[in-house]
Structure 1
Amino acid sequence: MDLGAVLSIIGLVVGVVAIVLLALVLRSLGRHRRELAELRAATTGAIPVVDGGEAGAGGEPTAQEDPPARLKKVAVVLNPSKFADADAFRARLREVVERVEEAEIAFYETTVEDPGQGQAREAISEGADLVMAAGGDGTVRMVASVLAGTDVRMGIIPSGTGNLLARNVDVPLEDPAAAMTAALTGQDRHVDVGWLQTGGSIAEASAASPQIFLVIAGFGADAEMIGHTDDGMKKRIGWIAYVLGGVRTVMGRSVDVVLDLPDGTRHTHRARTVLLGNVGRLPGGFVLMPGATVDNGRLEIVVAGWRGAAGFSQVVTEVVNPRLVPSRRTRIANRLSTMERYHSPAVQVVTAAPQPVQLDGDTDDEATHFIARVDPGVLRLRVPVSSRSRGR
C-alpha cells in the first residue's frame, strides 16, 4: 500500500471520528438550549407563540390556526418491537389521554406481515379522530400512507433510531408521555408527503405503485449506507451506527445521472447519491437540506459525487459547515467532489446502472428509473405549538 493510500485511510478515520464527536457535542448543546428555554418560560410565565409570522397592530404575534377541537377517540398504532415493556407503555398513555383529553383510547399492534397500514385503516373505520404512530420511521411511513388525503389527524410517538419526521417538527423524542401530550394539546399542521415510483424503465416506473416518504428518499450511496448498517448496532448506539455503516460506501464509484424537471430542463451529473428531501434536519443537529421544509410544496434534490476519502470529506464539510466549503470552481478543478441542489415539486431521474433505493431509512429493490413528486399539505399532522415557528 503506497503512502497516498495510507494517508487517505487515515484521513477517512479521522474524519469519521470528528463527525461523531461533533454530532454528540451538537446534540448535547441542543438539549441544554431546550432545557434553558423551558426553564425561562416557566419562571417568567411566558406563553409559547403559535407561529413566528407577522405581528398584529399591537405588536403581538398573530395566531395562524384555530384552537384544536376536542378529541373523542385516540388510536395508537403500536410497533411492540420498539418498546421493552408494551404493557407499561399502554398504561402510561391511557393515563395521559384520560387526564388531558378524557377521550377513549385504543391500541392496534403492528405485525411483520402488516407493519401499520391495516391497523391505521381499522382505527379509522372504528371512528378514531387522532391516530398515533408509535414506533420508528417505518411505522410512521405506513400510518401516514393511509392517513394522507383524509381529515383524520396523525401524531407521532417516536421510538426508532432516526425518528426523522419527529425531529423536524419538534416532537419530544425520549418521553412517550410527553409526545402524547404534545399531540393532544398541539396544533394541526397540514404537511407535504413525497411519493416515489421506481423501475427498470420509465414505463415500469410509471406503472409501479407509489411509495410514500416523509423525510428523505434516495438512491446510491445513502441506500448502501443504510443497507450496511447493523440492526444490533443501531439498538446499542443509535443513529451513530449509520455513520459507521457509511464507511464502506466512501470508496464506491459515481455513475452517470440524468435529471428531468417539470420546467423542461435536463441536468446531467456524475454522482454517488441522489437525495429527495421533504425535510432536511438530521440527527445531531445537522441540516442536510436547508431549503426542505415540511409544508413548502416542493422537494429539495441533492446530487452529490466524490472521489475517495478526500472528496467525501469535502461533501461532509459542506453539510457540517457550508462556510468552509471550497468554491465550485476549485472543486471542479480538483475533480474531487460535486454537490448540486434543485428545488422542484417533481423530478424524473435515470441512472446508468441500477442503484439501491431507500425511503426514510427503509431499503427497497435496485432500480435505474425514478419518478418522484410531492403532494402538498395532504397529511394533517399534530405538532407541538412551538414547532411552527422553527419548522418554516
Structure 2
Amino acid sequence: MTGRGAGPAARWLARLAVLAAVGSLAVLVLSLGEGGLLVVGAGLLGLVLLAAGTWWFLARRGVLRLLGAVVAVAAPAGVLVLYAFAGLWRTALVLVLCWGAALACARGALRAARPERAGRGVAAVPPERPYLIMNPKSGGGKVGRFTLAERARELGARVHLLDPSAPADVAALAREAVREGADLLGVAGGDGTQALVAAVAAEHDLPFLVVPAGTRNHFAMDLGLDRSDPARCLDALTDGEELRIDLGDVAGRAFVNTVSFGVYADVVQRPEYRDDKAGTILALMPDLLAGEGVQRLDARIDGTALASRQALLISNNAYVSPDDLGGAGRRPSLQDGELGVLAIRVESAAAAAELAVRGSQSEALTVTTAQRVEVISGAREIPVAVDGEALRMATPVVCTVRPGALRVRVPRDRPGVTVPAPRVDWRRLLGLAFGRSEG
C-alpha cells in the first residue's frame, strides 16, 4: 500500500508517530549536557543485566541461581534509583512518554492502513445430527460449571461425556459418530482434544464446533470466540456461520496451535509437570539449557538449513513477532496457508543480553514462515509437544500445513479476533506520513 492509498486516519497517525519520534530525539539532544546520554546508557545497561540475571536464574543452580535472581530484580530497580538521585527522572519520563506515544501512533497508523482481511464466514444451515464430545474435567470443570451438556442437548445435540477415570480414544468416538450419521462434530475441552476431533471432521469434510472448555484455549481465541463464556459457542448450532481454516500436520497427526521441539517438549514429558509446572521447569532448565551433552535440534525450513537450536516452535499459521509484545501469543489469521517458525539458541548470559537488546534481529532467534519444516536428530525418536500433549516421534519429523482443510462452525454473534498491528516499520510510516510509496 502507498501513502496515497491510505485513509486520512492512517496518514495523520503516521505523522504523529514521526513527530513523537523526532520529539524524543530532540529531548535527548537538548539534555546531552544534563545527563541525557546517561539516561539511555543506564537504561540499556539495566536491560542487559536483567537478561543476564534471568539467564543465570534459569540455567544455573545454587548460589548462581540466587545471584541471578538478585541481579534480575536489582538491575531495573537500580536504574530507577539512579534516575531519582541523579535528578534524571524528568528526562527519563519525557523520553519514555515521547517514545511510547511514537510507538502507539505508529501501531495505530499501520493497523488503520492495513487492508481488511476476509475474516467473516458464510451463513450455515443448522445441523440436524450434531455430535459433541465433552471433557468434564477440562478447565477445572467448565463443562459442569456452564451446564454445557444440558444446553447442547436442549439445542438438539447428542453429547458424549468423557469418563475421567477411563481414558477414551476421542478420535474413535468421532469416527463412530460419523458412521452413525453425525453431520457436525464438536468438542468442549482443551486444544489437544480439539485437534484430534478436528482431524476427523476434516477427513470427512464435516463442520467442526469449538467450545473453549479448556484452560487456555488459544485456538478459540484466534477464532474470535468468547473464552469467558463457552456456552455462547453453542449458539453456532442454531445461528452460525462457517469459516474455512488451515490445519497443521506433524508426522500425520493434526494440530491446531503449535508443535514444540527441544526444551519445552522435554519438560512436558515429565510426569511431575502437570502437578508442578513451575517447580519442574526450574529443576530441569539448567540441564536443558546449559548441560553438557544436551541434544540440539537441526531443521530444514523449506530447504534452508537451521543448525543446533535449543528449542523450535512450529505453529499452524504465524504468531505475532516476539518484538510486538502487545499482540504476542496471537495469530492474526488462520487462513494464510503457512507455518509459523520460531527457533532459539541462547547458551550464555551474553547471548541472552544480546537477544534482549536486539530482539528478532539477534542471531539467537529465528522468526520466519514456511510450507514445510523437517526436524532432524541423531536420535531415532525425540520428544514432541503437540498442542501441549507430550509425545515421542520417530525422526525425521515433518511438519506441513493443509490450507483450508477444516470447516469451523462459529456463532454469528461473537467477540471476533482482535488483530494486532503489524510490526513497526519506520520506512513504511514515512511513506504513510508524507504520501510516498513504500518502495
Same fold (TM over 0.5): yes
> What TM-score, normalized to structure 2?
0.59
Partner of residue 358 from structure 2, selected from 325, 329, 345:
325
Aligned length: 311
2:427 corresponds to: none
Partner of residue 328 from structure 2, selected from 287, 290, 298:
287
Partner of residue 350 from structure 1, selected from 376, 398, 403:
376
CA distance, structure 1, for counterparts of residue 177 and residue 70 of structure 2: 48
User: Residues 71-130 of structure 1: CA distance to partner in whole angstroms, max 9, x if unpaired?
Assistant: 3233210123327669856955434664xxxx4221123355434112212322333333
Aligned partner of 1:346: which letter? R
User: Residues 188-232 of structure 1: CA distance to partner in whole angstroms, max 9, x if unpaired?
Assistant: 1111111112xxxxxxxxxxxx11111111211120232346323
> What TM-score, normalized to structure 1?
0.65
2:50 corresponds to: none
Partner of residue 170 from structure 1, selected from 196, 214, 224:
224
Distance 1:115 1:251, change over 3 A: farther
CA distance, structure 1, for counterparts of residue 119 and residue 335 of structure 2: 17
Aligned partner of 1:299: which letter? L
Do 1:148 and 1:378's aligned partners in 2 also have CA atoms closer than 8 Å?
yes
User: Do structure 1's residue 377 and structure 2's residue 431 form an aligned pair?
Assistant: no
CA distance, structure 2, for counterparts of residue 287 and residue 327 of structure 1: 13
Aligned partner of 1:232: which letter? D
Aligned partner of 2:347: which letter? R
Aligned partner of 1:108: which letter? H
1:303 corresponds to: 343
CA distance, structure 2, for counterparts of residue 314 and residue 78 of structure 1: 46
CA distance, structure 1, for counterparts of residue 404 and residue 394 of structure 2: 28
Partner of residue 314 from structure 2, selected from 264, 276, 286:
276
Distance 1:389 1:90, change over 3 A: closer
Question: What is the CA distance between 1:377 and its match in structure 2?
Answer: 0.8
Do 1:250 and 1:308's aligned partners in 2 also have CA atoms closer than 8 Å?
no
1:67 corresponds to: 123
CA distance, structure 2, for counterparts of residue 126 and residue 296 of structure 1: 34
Do 1:168 and 1:391's aligned partners in 2 also have CA atoms closer than 8 Å?
no
Question: What is the CA distance between 1:352 and its match in structure 2?
Answer: 4.0
1:340 corresponds to: 366
The answer for unaligned runs of 5 or more in structure 1 is 19-51, 55-61, 198-209, 235-239, 318-323, 333-337
CA distance, structure 2, for counterparts of residue 80 and residue 138 of structure 1: 15
Question: What is the CA distance between 1:363 and its match in structure 2?
Answer: 1.0
CA distance, structure 2, for counterparts of residue 375 and residue 213 of structure 1: 10
The secondary structure found in structure 2 opposite 1:293 is: coil
Larger radius of gyration: 2
Aligned partner of 1:304: which letter? I
1:131 corresponds to: 185
Question: What is the CA distance between 1:364 and its match in structure 2?
Answer: 1.0
User: Do structure 1's residue 81 and structure 2's residue 108 form an aligned pair?
Assistant: no
Higher helix fraction: Structure 1 or Structure 2?
2
The answer for unaligned runs of 5 or more in structure 2 is 1-52, 76-114, 422-439
Distance 1:387 1:186, change over 3 A: farther
CA distance, structure 2, for counterparts of residue 368 and residue 153 of structure 1: 33
Distance 1:181 1:241, change over 3 A: farther
Do 1:194 and 1:372's aligned partners in 2 also have CA atoms closer than 8 Å?
yes
Distance 1:211 1:380, change over 3 A: same
2:239 corresponds to: 185
Higher strand fraction: Structure 1 or Structure 2?
1
How big is the alpha-carbon RMSD for the aligned residues of Structure 1 and Structure 2? Answer: 4.0
1:110 corresponds to: 162
